[in-house]
Amino acid sequence: MNDCMNAEVRDRLPELLHERLDAAERASVLAHVEMCVDCRAELELLRNTRAMMVARTPRVDVNYVVQALPKSYARVARLTPHRRVWADWRVAAAVTLLVAGGTSMAVLNRGAASVPATTPSAIVAPVAAAPGTTAPAPTTVAQTPTPGESAPAASKAAPHHTDAAGATAANSAANSATAAELATAESPTATTDVGAQLGDLNEQQLQTLLKDINNLKPVPVTDPDPVTLRVTTSSSEGDDL
Amino acid sequence: MSESVRGSDDERDRELIARWKGGDERAATELVQRHSQALARFAVASGERNEVDELVQDTFVRAFNSLDGFRGDSSFRTWLFTIERRLLLDRRRADKRRRDRSEIKEDDAATEYDALDSVVADEMQERLQAAVGRLSPTQREVFTLRVAEGLSYKEIADAVGTTEGAARVHYHNAMRAVKEFLDE
């Protein structure tokens, strides 16, 4: 079997076999093949070789192959339940607020009806504790005009926790009760007296107190004042530091 | 080569890949149907005999797992051949002692292919099989991809990891060797 001298056409024979020539090329190559014995023989050889390779290859089980393929990203995403993290924390926060608010209302209402004094103080104390601890300034409660007798006692019992509450309650007579409440957080022994004072408040005072509690805002956390250290060094004392 | 014919094949592959990425599992099945037999032919021609399905499956699994890395510089089928060839080389390195695949020696080529022959009894095809079996591994790869799959030299070079010119030389040397064997 000889090789045709037209290498260009010979190079095109596999493409002719696989029908991968455009119309013009195909016509040109076919025209050559029709008059070239060597190219016809080679094309026949190619056809037989291809047939042999196809016949000797076992049939692939497509299902066997496909069942092992990974799932596409989109399908995996569709099958994975959507996690609504965004909504979850908001729902939790709303429920927490409702429970806290409802409990406060219930406790205060019970306090108005001579409920044991420890309950309102336990509720109010955490509210006021935060501002009190972040701003350890001298108390102002003792200086505010207070018609009740509890304010001075409160300032004595818990001077560190009353300034914030006192500042917000300066215009209200009920604020003395607030101060007393705050005082009881530090002084368990005084809770009975304070509870009794809460019970003595009338409806208007209780409403005012509740409003003030709702208006309480946490004092922002402040950094301590910067401390400047002045170090004086001299040639003889330089190693002391 | 007709770019339009090849281009339509490539376009269909890209379309199927996009559909699969979008969650259409049937697109994966069609891709396997389109290319699995070509991969099997290449595997058999490269000497794989007993685990053709497994090799084809491994090739597709690896391909689908790294479809994001398929840039489309070559056709999808050429890319599959590249993956399959690497798997074949890995298997050979990992299992050197297993010699039941048809790595044909000069003097027993016909005998090896006689063992394979359970389908075709045609004498011409047996002789052709023996002639191809005598080729060097690289010649056989190039010859198979060119004759059985109709790949261009450029595509063969991509799949086999050589140059276009070297692929052309391998093909013509292989063709000459096959003719000489048949003329004996």
Q: B66 and B115: one domain?
A: no
User: Distance of CA B75 to CAs A45, B1, B13, B78, Å?
Assistant: 27, 14, 8, 5
Interface of B with A in 98-157 (CB under 8 A): 116-117, 119-120, 124-125, 128-129, 132, 144, 146-150, 152
Residue range A149-172: mean pLDDT, rounded:
43
Say which residue, A95 or A115, is predicted with more confidence: A95
Mutant choice from B10, B32, B156 vs A, greatest count of A C-beta within 10 A? B32
What CATH number does residue B108 fall under? 1.10.10.10
pLDDT tens across A50-100, in order? 999 998 899 999 999 999 999 877 666 666 655 555 566 777 788 888 888
Assess whether pLDDT exceeds 60 at residue A121.
no
Rounded Cα–Cα distance for residues B38 and A65 (Å): 14
Q: B17 and B92: one domain?
A: yes
For residue A107, what are the contacts with CB-CB under 8 A and spacing of at least 6? A115, A119, A120, A123
Rounded Cα–Cα distance for residues B109 and B132 (Å): 9
What CATH number does residue B55 fall under? 1.10.1740.10
Q: Which of A15, A62, A73 sits opposite B21 (nearest CB)?
A: A73
Contact A10, B176 (CB under 8 A): no
Using an 8 Å CB-CB cutoff, list chain A residues near B56: 60, 65
Rounded Cα–Cα distance for residues B8 and A220 (Å): 68
A85 touches chain B (CB under 8 A): no
Beta-carbon separation of A49 and B124 below 8 A: no
- CA dihedral sign of residues B116, B121, B123, B125: negative
Work out the pLDDT band at A191, boundaries 50, 70, 90: very low
Say which residue, A107 or A150, is predicted with more confidence: A107
Q: B33 and B112: one domain?
A: no
Rounded Cα–Cα distance for residues B50 and B98 (Å): 11
What residues does each domain of chain A span?
7-62, 99-215
Work out the pLDDT band at A155, boundaries 50, 70, 90: very low
**Domain boundary pick from B101, B129, B147:** B101
Mean pLDDT of chain A: 68
pLDDT tens across B48-72, in order? 887 899 999 999 999 999 988 888 8
Beta-carbon separation of A55 and B120 below 8 A: yes
B79 touches chain A (CB under 8 A): no
Rounded Cα–Cα distance for residues B151 and A105 (Å): 83
Rounded Cα–Cα distance for residues A79 and A46 (Å): 49
Among candidate residues B139, B134, B178, the one with its CA nearest the CA of residue B160: B139
Residue of B nearest to A65 (CA): B57
Q: B70 and B81: one domain?
A: yes
Residue range A200-212: mean pLDDT, rounded:
83
Using an 8 Å CB-CB cutoff, list chain B residues near A19: 5
Q: Exposed/middle/buried for A7, CB within 10 Å: 0-12, 13-18, 19+?
A: exposed
User: Distance of CA A158 to CAs A150, A155, A165, B87, B169, Å?
Assistant: 12, 6, 12, 80, 99
Contact A182, A188 (CB under 8 A): no
Say which residue, A227 or A196, is predicted with more confidence: A227
pLDDT tens across B136-173, in order? 999 999 999 999 999 999 999 999 999 999 999 999 99
Among candidate residues A158, A159, A165, the one with its CA nearest the CA of residue A216: A165
Residue range A6-21: mean pLDDT, rounded:
92
Which residue shows structure tokens 């207070």? A146
Residue of A nearest to B26 (CA): A66
Pair of tokens at residue A113: 């009806």
Predicted local distance difference test score (pLDDT) of residue A213: 81
Rounded Cα–Cα distance for residues A218 and A50 (Å): 85
Assess whether pLDDT exceeds 90 at residue A35.
yes
Work out the pLDDT band at B2, boundaries 50, 70, 90: low
Predicted local distance difference test score (pLDDT) of residue A216: 77
Using an 8 Å CB-CB cutoff, list chain A residues near B118: none
Work out the pLDDT band at A231, boundaries 50, 70, 90: low
> How many domains are contained in chain B?
2
Using an 8 Å CB-CB cutoff, list chain A residues near B114: none
Reported residue count of chain B is 184
Residue range A100-110: mean pLDDT, rounded:
81
Work out the pLDDT band at B47, boundaries 50, 70, 90: confident
Predicted local distance difference test score (pLDDT) of residue A211: 84
Rounded Cα–Cα distance for residues A15 and B149 (Å): 9
Say which residue, A90 or A115, is predicted with more confidence: A90
Residue range A100-104: mean pLDDT, rounded:
84
A5 touches chain B (CB under 8 A): no
Rounded Cα–Cα distance for residues B16 and B13 (Å): 5
Say which residue, B102 or B23, is predicted with more confidence: B23
Q: Which domain holds residue B116?
A: 104-184
Q: B42 and B73: one domain?
A: yes
pLDDT tens across A178-187, in order? 444 544 444 4
Q: B10 and B47: one domain?
A: yes
Residue of B nearest to A10 (CA): B172
Predicted local distance difference test score (pLDDT) of residue A202: 82
Q: B2 and B89: one domain?
A: yes
Predicted local distance difference test score (pLDDT) of residue A198: 67
Say which residue, B24 or A151, is predicted with more confidence: B24
Contact A7, A39 (CB under 8 A): no
Q: What are the residue ranges of helices labelled H in A36-174? A: 37-55, 62-66, 73-79, 85-112, 118-134, 150-157, 163-168
Predicted local distance difference test score (pLDDT) of residue B63: 95
Among candidate residues B26, B29, B31, B33, the one with its CA nearest the CA of residue B14: B31
Q: B15 and B68: one domain?
A: yes
Query: Nearest 5°: CA angle at A108, between A104 and A112?
Result: 170
Residue of A nearest to B126 (CA): A52
**Domain boundary pick from B72, B101, B130:** B101
Mean pLDDT of chain B: 84
Predicted local distance difference test score (pLDDT) of residue A94: 82
Residue range A205-226: mean pLDDT, rounded:
73
Q: B89 and B108: one domain?
A: no
Assess whether pLDDT exceeds 50 at residue A160.
no
Assess whether pLDDT exceeds 70 at residue B178.
yes
CA distance A39 to chain B (A): 13
Predicted local distance difference test score (pLDDT) of residue A236: 46
Which residue shows structure tokens 């491994």? B58
B72 touches chain A (CB under 8 A): no
What ipTM is given for this predicted complex?
Answer: 0.81
Assess whether pLDDT exceeds 50 at residue A143.
no
Q: Which of B5, B25, B120 sits opposite A52 (nearest CB)?
A: B120
Using an 8 Å CB-CB cutoff, list chain A residues near B48: none
